[in-house]
Amino acid sequence: MFAAPSIPKPVSREEELGQVLFKRGQNAIVVFVMIVASLFFLGITLFAVAESIRNRSPEALVFSTVFVCLAAAVMLYVFVRSSGVLRCHEFGVSVSGWLSQRGLRFDRAAAFTFRTVQVNFHGIPLGTTFRLCLEPESGAGRKPIVFSGSLRKNDPEMDMLRDLASRAVAQRMGRELIAGGRVAWTRQLDLLAQGIEHRSLGLFGRKPPAVLPYEQIARIDIRDGFFSVWRRGRKRAAISGSSSQANFFPGHRLLLTILEQKRKIAAGGEDA
């Protein structure tokens, strides 16, 4: 007799993404602003209702009805947004809210974006917010994971999430680079087998593509949302741009890996 084929057990989201490493709530600054906005609409609504009752005015009644709807919509939006939670797992991330929950593995992501913004009020720093987006590979049938929150002064948890996501996407980019000899990094940058192809901005638009060989790279700097790449022997950066572009951090990680491999090969040749 033939044994019946075993039916594989469905994999739960927790098993697919692994153990939860940390979780983060919604951006407190954004929630505060939305609460103030909802209270503002509520105050105007109460004033309009009082005026319509006192004057028995149909126009004021219509006006108050509109603001009642606006205040209810804003307060509902605040409730839904404030319930959002980001969870970083061993193998991916998940976001949950009042109405839904979804997750995405790092190794099934095609692009990763991480952007930070310093929030100031009349010159007084209120903190730093972040926005991350993990986009699935084409044909995965999943929606991007998008989340906004607040960074702490020293935030190793978000550094770890950025590193995990960047590492996975960098591996995908590395395979594409090996297979085709080129991989897109940012909108103006490509990583080639021999160096970085860049299209600098000139007086009359973008200049023709130029290649900065890996052996000519002196240093790379990331500061205040921008990055710069220096050529050896030059005082001015050869390449610069925003670090908030899609796949900047994965491409940066891949670039550092390539430079490290080049240094090891050069050191081996010198020893020989």
Residue 9 included in any domain = no
- What is the pLDDT of the chain when averaged over all its residues? 82
- Domain hosting 129: range is 15-160
Are 42 and 136 contained in the same domain? yes
Are 134 and 189 contained in the same domain? no
DSSP label of 108: G
Residue 16: which pLDDT band, with cuts at 50, 70 and 90?
A: confident
Tell me the three state secondary structure of residue 171: helix
Residue 12: which pLDDT band, with cuts at 50, 70 and 90?
A: very low
> 103-113: per-residue pLDDT in tens?
999 999 999 99
Q: Are the beta carbons of 146 and 81 closer than 8 angstroms?
A: no
Give the Cβ contact number of residue 203 at 10 Å: 5
Are 95 and 213 contained in the same domain? no
Residue 260: which pLDDT band, with cuts at 50, 70 and 90?
A: very high
Looking at residues 32-60, what average pLDDT do you find? 68
Residue 22 included in any domain = yes
Q: Looking at 102, 130, 160, which one is the last position of a domain? A: 160
Q: By mean pLDDT, which of 79-83, 183-187, 189-193, 218-222 is the weakest? A: 79-83
As given in the structure block, the two tokens for residue 72 are 């209810």
Are 154 and 206 contained in the same domain? no
- Tell me the whole-structure pTM to 2 decimals: 0.75
Structural domains in the chain (count): 2
Tell me the three state secondary structure of residue 96: strand
Which strands, in side-by-side order, build the sheet including 92-96? 20-25, 85-89, 92-96, 101-105
Are 155 and 198 contained in the same domain? no
CATH classification of the domain holding 246: 2.30.29
Residue 45 included in any domain = yes
Q: Cα separation of 138 and 147, whole Å? A: 20
Residue 6 included in any domain = no
Residue 9: which pLDDT band, with cuts at 50, 70 and 90?
A: very low
DSSP label of 216: G
Are 151 and 71 contained in the same domain? yes
Q: By mean pLDDT, which of 78-82, 151-155, 239-243 is the weakest? A: 78-82
Are 38 and 87 contained in the same domain? yes
Are 118 and 76 contained in the same domain? yes
Residue 19 included in any domain = yes
Q: How far apart are the first and last CA of the chain?
A: 65
DSSP label of 153: S
Q: How far is CA 40 from the centre of its chain?
A: 31
Are 120 and 46 contained in the same domain? yes
Question: How high is the pLDDT of residue 114?
Answer: 96
Which strands, in side-by-side order, build the sheet including 124-136? 109-121, 124-136, 145-151
